[in-house]
Amino acid sequence: MKSDTDIILITGGSGFIGKYITKFFIKRNFFVINYDINPIKNFTSPNYKFIKGDVAKIKNLRKAFKKKIKYVFHLAAINGTKNFYDFPVKVLEASSFGILNVCKLCEEFKVKKLFIFSSSEVYNESKIIPTNEKIEIKIPDITNPRFSYAGGKILSELVGLNYALEKRIKSVVIIRPHNVYGADMGFGHVIPELYKKISLKKLKKNIKLKIIGSGNEIRSFIYIEDFLNGFYKVFRKGKNRNIYNIGNNEPINIRKLISIFARILNIKISISGKNGHLGGPKKRVPDITKIKKFGYKKKYNIYNGIKKFIENEKIN
């Protein structure tokens, strides 16, 4: 590592977004320390170091911090809708202990800038679409374990922003990703889950597909390459105690999304739905005015993004 190379610490750097960010910044001559439970598979670089550990344990996390770390990207969390329902306490422990430990160590080691990765889940069912960063965030039903994840993210934002308010950390920036997708993201998310179901029947030209929900739910998906470019804009220009949606304002319902798969794969798909998860929003589209002011422009529309995803995704 060169003496003038900026050092980034990423918690959760082996997760879907984390591993893409790791490789993205290494290509731009940063040195990246990845603190996670598991390493990134089949990846090495002279500008990369993996440290195994759990963010909920401050003694272990301390080993990842160095005096010269300039930036911290806090992504570590337990994600996946099934986990929210099955293991809400673990989800909350990772979020709550994680953010408190990260902020304490950022203060101690005088980190220049902390980027906290929150989630579009904090908006729940917003009454204003597209939804900007000033709209209220909320837990609509405290008894529903689905909100263990959103609750943890809201806490993370509160802790980080107030550390910055008290000047205990020089600068804290909040990132709210919206439905990011790309190859090798696991199958607990809409696009890869649909593709896996379709691929299991891909030898047929006419398939029947069962989905969760009616298929009329509306989302706005962003391909990972566009997300990285959006985040890099925020990394360079984002201001202290500011919040930034990173997504695309191209709404699409799930039925239309499935029709895009059918068109690309040259098959016919008939859809049957069942009740969705209790608490799942019917419509979510971000207002991305703030990152557009930084010069963000999407490269991939949903059709081209799905096509690129299919080209790169491997179904075992």
Q: Specify whether 270 is located in the same domain as 174.
A: no
The reply to whether 14 falls in a domain is yes
Q: Specify whether 114 is located in the same domain as 154.
A: yes
Helix axes 16-27, 224-237, angle to 10 degrees: 60
Those residues whose C-beta lies under 8 Å from the C-beta of residue 176, and which sit 6 or more positions away, are 118, 119, 120, 122, 133, 243, 244, 245, 246, 286
Phi and psi, residue 72, nearest 5°: -125, 130
The reply to whether 289 falls in a domain is no
The reply to whether 204 falls in a domain is yes
The reply to whether the predicted model has a pTM over 0.85 is yes
pLDDT digits (tens, 9 = 90+) for 46-61: 999 999 999 999 999 9
Q: What is the pLDDT of residue 208?
A: 86
CATH number at residue 201: 3.90.25.10
Q: Specify whether 277 is located in the same domain as 151.
A: no
pLDDT digits (tens, 9 = 90+) for 134-153: 999 999 999 999 999 999 99
The reply to whether 294 falls in a domain is no
Q: Could you tell me which of 161, 158, 165 has the C-alpha nearest to residue 138?
A: 158
Q: Specify whether 94 is located in the same domain as 211.
A: no
The reply to whether 94 falls in a domain is yes
The reply to whether 291 falls in a domain is no
Contacts 24+ apart (CB under 8 A), 48-55: 48/22, 50/13, 50/14, 55/11, 55/12, 55/94, 55/97, 55/98, 55/101, 55/102
Can you give the residue range of the structural domain that contains 194?
Answer: 183-219+250-284+299-312
Q: How confident is the model at residue 13 (pLDDT cuts 50, 70, 90)?
A: very high
Q: What is the pLDDT of residue 203?
A: 61
Q: Specify whether 32 is located in the same domain as 129.
A: yes
Q: Specify whether 136 is located in the same domain as 266.
A: no
CATH number at residue 63: 3.40.50.720
pLDDT digits (tens, 9 = 90+) for 102-126: 999 999 999 999 999 999 999 998 9
Q: What is the pLDDT of residue 105?
A: 98
Q: Specify whether 48 is located in the same domain as 195.
A: no
Q: Specify whether 271 is located in the same domain as 128.
A: no
Whether residue 41 has pLDDT greater than 60: yes
Q: Are 282 and 217 in contact (CB under 8 A)?
A: yes
The reply to whether 293 falls in a domain is no
Alpha-carbon Rg for the chain, nearest whole angstrom, is 19
* Residue 310: burial class (beta carbons within 10 Å; 0-12, 13-18, 19+): middle
